[in-house]
Amino acid sequence: MSLTTMNEDIRVSGVILVGGRSSRMGVDKASLEFNGMTLLQRSVARLTPAVDQLVLVGSPGRPLPPVTTDKPVRTVDDPVEGEGPLVGIVAGLEACDADAAIVVAVDMPFVEIELVRRLVDRLDEKHRWVVPVANDRPQPLCSAFAVTALPVLRSHIDAGDRAPMAIAADLDTFLMQPEEWRNSDPEGRSFINVNTPEEFAALLDNFRDEMDILECS
């Protein structure tokens, strides 16, 4: 039985991880413009229809680009910069006013709304983390958490763990295989991310090519 089935009034937060150093990109990823909006605004726009609240997790002392949404937005900082995504996930979940959360990285501009909903719906009392598998590996930075998982995450942080998948066994994590999520995202675009200027340039080129095809069709 899913959390959604147990409680039709379940609240969902969207946690966007914006606190990375962007060292390979050379500039702040959140501020990069894609199709007329920053990557941060695009992440907000993609998640807004599926959530009741948004939590933006940034780096200490680093201002975030402005965002627009009709949902409440809370901004929090990683407690320590550069400690990795697991620390940011904990900071985000702690700020959630919700039963469940979708966690995504800010550099994933194609997260599909139906995939997000499918991940949340697969949460239950046993499986408190749902992680899709794409390209033969888990995708923890596009996943769904039950907020009750927080004590487990905190204990791993206290033990020195920083890799997200280190928490998987203790949460009875459900690894959602492609055959289960593929109908929600046939091409797996939700898992595209950008880490370097070259990857971002290729993303822009591919997007322009797609728009040209649509305009000519």
The pLDDT score that the predictor gives to residue 206 is 79
**What pLDDT shows up at residue 79?**
84
Distance CA 91, CA 161 (A): 15
Q: Residue 9: what pLDDT?
A: 75
- Identify the pLDDT of residue 213: 31
Q: What is the pTM of this model?
A: 0.90
E-only strand ranges, the chain: 12-17, 33-34, 37-38, 53-58, 73-77, 100-105, 129-134, 137-138, 142-146, 174-176
- Taking CA atoms, 131 is separated from 37, 184, 186, 210, in Å, by 28, 14, 17, 29
CA dihedral 160, 166, 172, 174 (to 10 degrees): 140
pLDDT at position 210 is 52
What is the CATH number for 26? 3.90.550.10
Q: Is 24 helix (H, G, I), strand (E, B) or coil?
A: coil
Number of domains in the chain: 1
At residue 5, the pLDDT reads 44
Query: Residue 69 class from Cβ within 10 Å (0-12 exposed, 13-18 middle, 19+ buried)?
Result: middle
pLDDT at 1: 39
Alpha-carbon torsion (129, 100, 120, 193), positive or negative: negative
Contact of 127 with 168, CB cutoff 8 Å: no
List the domain range (segments joined by +) for residue 155. Answer: 3-216
Whole-angstrom Cα distance, residue 175 to residue 178?
10
Q: What is the pLDDT of residue 196?
A: 87
Alpha helix stretches (DSSP H) within 52-192? 85-94, 113-121, 150-158, 178-181
Question: What is d(CA 97, CA 81) in angstroms, rounded to the nearest whole number?
Answer: 24
132 within 8 A of 176, measured Cβ to Cβ? yes
DSSP tag of 27: S
Split the chain (217 residues) into runs of 10 and give each run's mean pLDDT: 55 92 69 91 96 95 93 93 89 97 95 97 96 97 98 96 96 98 96 89 75 35
126, 83, 118, 169: CA torsion to nearest 10: -30
